[in-house]
Structure 1
Amino acid sequence: MIADPVSPSGAVAADPARDAAARQVAAWSGRPDAPVVRSFFDRATFTATHVVHDPATRQAAVVDSVLDYDPASGRTGHLSALAVLDYLRAEGLQVAWHLETHVHADHLSAAPWLQHQTGGALAIGAEIVRVQQVFGKIFNEGTEFARDGSQFDRLFTDGETFRLGAIDAIALHVPGHTPADMAFVIGDAAFIGDTLFMPDYGTARADFPGGDARMLYRSTRRLLSLPDATRLFLCHDYGAPGRPDFAWETTVGAERAGNIHVHDGVAEDSFVAMRTTRDAALDLPRLIMPSVQVNMRGGHLPPPESNGTRYIKIPLDTL
């Protein structure tokens, strides 16, 4: 459960999972054996894929990988994923995890393809089942589409701990953008998906089915109550006026001081009003139809039909 904020400064009620993550970050921050992160930016979808590894054991996790997809032709490709694979092999890394922070609506996941190449377990938050229920109905998937998360090897619950080699890790449920968003805190590095963006860009939208702006605010405050030195790795950057380069790494301290939507002092009701108004003016992501259909299946393409061809559905006048 997400604890309710008790003040606009970001203080929250008792939150054992968050507190455990904070202690973990403090223990790993500044250590020479802290996790190493290499990021790959896919300009076509503005997505940052992160490879995090334990320098002692060389165990790695791949977070939010990208499958190339051309909506005009329906063709898929692996150039983005190949860059990740080449790095893994060059560094001699052993992949233990393929982590998905949520069911993405703006890019297709390459996790199954990378998993076939490298091994490792595919994992997502346990609330994926809610997303599968909602979008299973929207896309009129039949009873053959399992809505129990069984397409993934591991479903993390809030506060569940795991390991990346010798490095402590914990999963934090941070819903709002979708009901299933999960942040993975590995050592002193947090991979937070679509919750916060760079300080000069703000926060993620909350208007998809199952999204909730008030819940998003509480999730951002939960993340921003981690130690200021916590390294935050974001899933996207769309650029910002006056900033020439794309960026996907920041800190809790920088977000608390300067995030244009949720810096310290922004009240919940004010955020909800802003986010709701802003979301109402946004277009749907260009790749939402193929992305959700594929990603709710754990990155697997829809099954082939009787002619051997796979199809993406586009529900008319629905979303």
Structure 2
Amino acid sequence: MEDANLAAAAEQILRAGGQQHLVVKSFFDEPTFTASHVAYDPATKRAAIVDSVLNFDAASGRTSTHSADAIVEFVSAEGLGVDWLLETHAHADHLSAAPYLQQKLGGKLAIGREITTVQRLFGGVFNFGTEFARDGSQFDRLFDDGDRFSVGDIPAIALHVPGHTPADIAYVIGDAAFIGDTLFMPDYGTARADFPGGDAHQLYRSIRRLLSLPEKTRLFLCHDYKAPNRNVFVWETTVGAQKKSNVHVHDGVAEEAFVAMRQSRDATLDLPDLILPSVQVNVRGGRLPPAEDNGVRYLKLPINAF
């Protein structure tokens, strides 16, 4: 979708969202610094769940569902019906709980169509066999850039925003946008772009695309790490706040300056603690690998691959 058309579509959606305010309840998983969001239309009680977390202890290899169960409890208490389980990308820092939530609450599991690129990349890294489909069939819906959908009576649009990964997608729902790992809070900056398939130039252009949305648009982030001198976690901001004061990419920062900063900064970063288990699971739509002949599921640990 051309950005001029994006602006017109976003304005249309935001006007509709202003007539019926989208309600957002967020859940923060501190061990992975991940914010998951339940976004719903209060008139119809229809909902979408964005970027859920399956708890995983790497030392023991044990999973648990206490973070997802908090979402289930909220959805049940509010009498919501779940239509969508939305993933902004194949996360490298936490496992998705989408299949568990789908079993409990229903809804269609969705991600951007370029997940197939990520599946091909990491299918090679982990030497997955032929049982691993690289066509996105693990998901119920693959969104193309500009695809329309709705949450209850509130209109929504999917926007392809690559850079952090090739598959990143943002969801504008009413007056809110769920932007995954593109921007962090203004005092913390922007996401890294050094994972396989990442690109700092693409990230800059995707961020500027998001910042072309109306300034009043609420932005819900996937992570917060507490910036220096800030003692609380925060995951909601606005387009206007980002344009004015994002420490990496406020208005006036040129693409080449951003790319130089991002590449220099990325070179100093360690890999996320859970990148190896997370990616293996999340390219499968949040499902664990198939059990082997002893009934146990295994995650691979590629040696010297990163």
**TM-score normalised by length of structure 2:** 0.98
Structure-1 separation of matches of 2:252 and 2:16: 28
Matches within 5 A, 1:43-58: 43-58=30-45
Q: Equivalent of 1:20, from 4, 9, 15?
A: 9
Equivalent residue for 2:58?
71
Q: Equivalent of 2:118, from 117, 131, 134?
A: 131
Equivalent residue for 1:250?
237
Matches within 5 A, 1:274-313: 274-313=261-300
Counterpart secondary structure, 2:118: helix
Structure-1 separation of matches of 2:190 and 2:70: 28
The total of aligned residue pairs comes to 306
Equivalent residue for 2:201?
214
RMSD: 1.0
**Retained in 1: the 8 A contact 2:16–2:154?**
no
The answer as to 2:75 corresponding to 1:85 is no
The ranges of structure 1 where at least 4 consecutive aligned residues each deviate by more than 4 angstroms after the TM superposition are none
2:29 partner letter: D
Q: CA deviation at 1:287?
A: 0.1
Structure-2 separation of matches of 1:117 and 1:100: 17
The answer as to 2:140 corresponding to 1:153 is yes
Equivalent residue for 1:188?
175
The answer as to 2:154 corresponding to 1:172 is no
Counterpart secondary structure, 1:122: strand
**Retained in 2: the 8 A contact 1:18–1:172?**
no
Q: CA deviation at 1:23?
A: 3.0
**TM-score normalised by length of structure 1:** 0.94
Counterpart secondary structure, 2:215: coil
Equivalent residue for 1:95?
82
After superposition, what is the alpha-carbon deviation per residue over 1:123-152, rounded to whole angstroms, capped at 9, x for unaligned?
000000000000000000011100000000
1:133 partner letter: R
Structure 2 segments unaligned to the other structure (5+ residues): none
2:9 partner letter: A
Q: CA deviation at 1:244?
A: 1.0
Structure-1 separation of matches of 2:279 and 2:286: 9
After superposition, what is the alpha-carbon deviation per residue over 1:97-130, rounded to whole angstroms, capped at 9, x for unaligned?
0000000000000000000001110000000000
The answer as to 2:25 corresponding to 1:34 is no
Q: Equivalent of 1:60, from 47, 59, 68?
A: 47
- Identical positions, percent: 68
